[in-house]
Amino acid sequence: MSGQTFQLHVNGTSYAVTAPDRKTLGDALREDCGLTGTHLGCEQGVCGTCTVIVDGRPVRSCLMFARQAEGAQIRTVEGLAQGERLHPLQQAFIDAHALQCGFCTPGFLMLIVGALEQDPDMTEDELAEVLSSNLCRCTGYAAIAKAALAAYPRPATPAE
């Protein structure tokens, strides 16, 4: 394996990664850390399937080089559940039938968790806008929005 060796801190564990500079964070998580829960949908930064949380912010791991994440705290879908206990958002996805093939699902989970941790006072409309940043071809989105609101109840957006 060519390239420099550096550390990635993912879900509280350190991984020594040897990778060329051009390797993306998404590829490094999958290939070098063995964390294949992060999926790559378009590798162009549009679909959001590869979303992970880096230092508290949801980012598209296809648009970040692995080296850029050195020293950062990275969270992936594998870190959401506490042992067998699902994160409330994961449970809400089950309850709302908010996934079908499940390929885009980790990206949506990390997007929602990251966005709401970053801005806990987000309104329902703002949350709806956040959800429009990722693509899903199976569900038609309504169930995803329902799951997000169930896990993170929002005060109703005041009428104008």
Partner 1 sequence: MNEAPRQGSSARPGAGERLFGRAVPRLEDTPLLTGRGRFVDDVQLPGLLAVAFVRSPFAHARIRAVDCTDARAMPGVAAILTADDLSPLLTSDVVAGAMPSAAIRHEVYRPVLARDEVAYAGEAVALVVAATRHEAEDAAEAVAVEYEPLFAVADGPSALEPGAPAVHMRLPDNLLATFDFHYGEVDAAFAAAAHVVRADFDLHRGGGHSMEGRGVVAAPDPVEDRLRVWSSTQTPHALKAALCTMLGRGDDDISVSVPDLGGGFGPKLVTYPEEIAVTAVAAHLGRPLKWIEDRQEHFLVSTQERDQHWRMEMALEADGRIAGIRGALTYDIGAYTARGLNVPYASGMMLTLPYNVPSYRLDIAVALTNKAPATPVRGAGQPQATFVMERLLDLAAAELGLDRAEIRDRNLVRAEQMPCRKPLKLRGGTDVVLDSGDYPATQRAALAQAGWAGFAARKAAAREEGRSIGLGLANYVEGTGRGPYETVTVRVTRQGRVRVSTGATAMGQGLQTAMMQIVADHLGADPANIDIHLGDTAEPYGFGGFNSRQTVVAGASADAAARAVRHKVLSVAAHKLGVEAHALDIAGDLVVETGGGNRSLTLAEVAVAAQGIAGFRLPGIDTPGLQATERVVIDDMAYANGCAVAEVEVDRATGGVRVTRLAFAHDCGVMVNPAMVEGQLMGGIALGLGNALFERMAYDEAGQPLTTTYADYLLVTSAEMPEVAVSHTESPTHLNALGVKGVGESGVIPMAAAIASAIDDALDDLGVRVLRAPVSPQEVRAAIRAAEGGAR
Task: Give the pairing of strands 57-60 and 73-75.
Answer: unpaired
Residue 21 interacting with partner 1 (CB under 8 A):
no
User: Which residues fall within 8 angstroms of residue 79, CB to CB, at 6 or more apart?
Assistant: 10, 11, 12
Residue 61 interacting with partner 1 (CB under 8 A):
no
Q: Which of 20, 21, 57, 157 binds partner 1 (CB under 8 A)?
A: 20
* Among candidate residues 101, 112, 118, 103, the one with its CA nearest the CA of residue 144: 112
User: What is the arrangement of strands in the sheet containing 13-19, beginning at the earlier edge strand?
Assistant: 13-19, 4-10, 73-75, 51-54, 57-60
Please give the Cα distance from 42 to 124 (Å, whole number).
28
* Total chain residues near partner 1 (CB under 8 A): 55
Residue 149 interacting with partner 1 (CB under 8 A):
no
Binding flags for partner 1, 91-120, as an x/- string (CB under 8 A): --xxx-x-xxxxxxxx--x-----------
Residue 122 interacting with partner 1 (CB under 8 A):
no
Site residues (vs partner 1, CB under 8 A): 2, 20, 22-23, 30, 35-44, 46-47, 49, 76-78, 80-81, 86, 90, 93-95, 97, 99-106, 109, 128-129, 131-145
